[in-house]
Structures are given as structure tokens and as C-alpha cells.
Amino acid sequence: MTGTVEELREIATGPRGRPPFMQLNELHVTNFKSFRGSHAVAFSPGVNCITGPNGAGKSNLLEAICFAMGSSVLATFRVKQWKDLLNCAEKEASIKLTLTTASTSSHPQGCEEEYMGLGQGQASVGVTLAPSGHRVYYVNNRAKAKKGALNSGDDRP
């Protein structure tokens, strides 16, 4: 998906008082960076603040969101290898985002009818990571063959 910063901001936060195009409801992380085992974080509509002492995992939560949404620039995650995203010697890490998406009829011109094939209503986006660096992305619990499928709306696995 491409667009100006203002267009992307409108999609994320809602254009001029309209509801946001996408709301993050919940983040589930398992064995991702500093998070050993399974952890869930709930988000409220509007602004959410993540606070805590140094080393508590605040940045790791934001990195988990970026990773689940398809970011594949290793430097973004402050690691040298993909396997460094796994907690200790775990065999797999996973991230799942639960989202609510809104109708595009009230959103900026040129906004795709569906973003990432999610449609309107409740949706989920996720990723699993193996120590080899192999990643499998999921949209609505359906595996996608490659990260590019996340942006295409293509439902083929």
C-alpha cells in the first residue's frame, strides 16, 4: 500500500473525525524477543500509552506489531539475524493481531476496498517465525505464501 504520510495517517487514525479504518484490539505474542511464553495486550480505541521501566519490553511490543504487519527490514528489530527475534532457545515465535476494520466508503479517495484482504469487521493478522528465519504470515487464520500476499488482498495460500 502506498500513499502520502497524510493519507496513511488518515487510514490509521480516521479522516477528519470519521472512525479509523483499522483499530488494533489485541496483540498476542509468544516467545518473541523478551516475551517468553504467551502474552496478550488489549488496546482501547483512541490513544494507548505503553509505560514501564527500561528493559520491560515496551519497544518489543511495537516491534511485534510491525513484524506481524509485514515489516522485513532486519535492522528495524535491533537484531542481526532473524533467529534473534526468538526468545532464548525457543523453537518458534508467533504474533497475532486482532483488528476491527471499517467500511472504506467514509475513507480517503483511492483507499483500497479491502486492506490486506481483511474486509470489514473483525479480522486477524499474524506471523510465525522459525529459528531458520522462515516466516509464515496469516490473514484471518489462513496462511499466505509470502509477505507480499499480505498487501495484495489475494486469498490464495
pLDDT in tens, 74-110: 778 888 888 888 898 789 999 999 988 765 554 455 4
Q: Quick check: pTM over 0.85?
A: no
- Any domain includes 157: no
Beta-carbon count within 10 A of 101 CB: 18
Q: Kindly give the pairing relationship between strand 121-129 and strand 142-144.
A: unpaired
Domain that holds residue 65: 5-13+22-45+56-114+122-152
In this structure, is residue 129 part of a structural domain? yes
Contacts of 12 (CB under 8 A, 6+ apart): 20, 21, 22
Does 132 map to a domain?
A: yes
Report the pLDDT value the prediction gives residue 72, as an integer from 0 to 100. 78
With pLDDT > 70 as the criterion, what percentage of the chain qualifies?
A: 66
Instruction: Establish if 50 belongs to a structural domain.
Output: no
What CATH number should be reported for the domain holding residue 86? Answer: 3.40.50.300
Q: What is the pLDDT of residue 112?
A: 47
Q: Examine residue 93 and state whether it is found in any structural domain, yes or no.
A: yes
Does residue 64 belong to any structural domain of this protein?
yes
| Residue 38 included in any domain | yes
| Total domains, the chain | 1
Instruction: Give exposure, 52-79, as e/b (b: 16+ Cβ within 10 Å).
Output: eeeeebeebbebbbebbbbeeeeeebee
Is the pLDDT assigned to residue 147 strictly greater than 50?
A: no
| Residue 33 placed within a domain | yes
